[in-house]
A = this chain, B = another copy of it.
Amino acid sequence: MPLKKRLYEIIFEADTPRGKVFDVALLVVILISILLVLLESVPSINARHRSALRIMEWVITGIFTVEYFIRILVVKHPFRYVTSFYGIIDLLAVVPTYLSLVFVGSQSLAVIRAIRLLRIFRIFKLNRYTMAGKNLTLAMKASREKIFVFLFFVINVVLIVGTLMYLIEGPENGFTSIPTSIYWAIVTMTTVGYGDISPQTPGGQLLAGLLMIAGYAIIAVPTGIVTAEMIRSSPHQNTQVCPHCLHDKHEDDARYCKKCGGKLN
Binding site for B on A (CB under 8 A): 34, 37-38, 41-43, 105-106, 108-109, 111-112, 114-115, 117-118, 126, 128-129, 131-133, 135-136, 139-140, 145-152, 154-156, 159-160, 163-164, 166-167, 171, 176-180, 182-183, 186-196, 198, 202, 205-206, 208-209, 212-213, 215-217, 219-232, 234, 236, 239, 245-251, 253-263
Contact = CB atoms under 8 A, between A and B. Distances in A.
A-B residue pairs, 8 tightest by C-beta:
A256-B261, A194-B195, A192-B193, A254-B258, A132-B145, A41-B178, A224-B227, A224-B226
B256 A258 contact: yes
Contact of A216 (B166, B219, B248, B258): B219
Given A220-B227, A227-B231, A192 B178 contact: no
Contacts of A260: 246, 255-256
Contacts of A229: 224
Given A114-B159, A132-B149, A190-B216, 15 more contacts: A37-B163, A38-B182, A108-B163, A114-B160, A129-B149, A136-B146, A179-B205, A194-B194, A194-B195, A195-B196, A216-B219, A220-B223, A224-B227, A227-B228, A255-B259
